[in-house]
Amino acid sequence: FAVLIFFALNTLALFKLRREGVGGDNVYQLPLFPWLPGVYLFGILSLLIMRLVYEWQNSLTDLLFIASGLPFYLIWRRQTVAPEQRK
């Protein structure tokens, strides 16, 4: 379940990076760009929704496990913030 979530987030990041123009013209050009990743994202989201509907208890357990790492991420991020960004 977690893998599907991260696949969906990676695909959304691809759309965001393309929209912002990160990398300029020196990046790999995916054929059928908006359509191919869009179909892939639709499939991944469909699988996520089906898992949430048919195995909601396991999905909830997985989400809680993923969320348990959030405090550690926030602590790590706070320690790695540049000094000029600290208040």
- pTM for the structure as a whole: 0.73
- Judge whether 14 and 22 are in contact, CB under 8 Å: no
The DSSP code sequence of 10-57 is HHHHHHHHHHHTTTTTSS---TTTTHHHHHHHHHHHHHHHHHHHHSHH
What ranges do the domains of the chain cover? 2-81
Q: What is the pLDDT of residue 87?
A: 56
What are the residues whose beta carbons fall under 8 Å from the beta carbon of 66, sequence distance 6 or more? 2, 5
- The Cα 7–Cα 20 span in angstroms is 20
pLDDT in tens, 29-85: 778 888 999 999 999 999 999 999 999 999 999 999 999 999 999 998 888 876 666
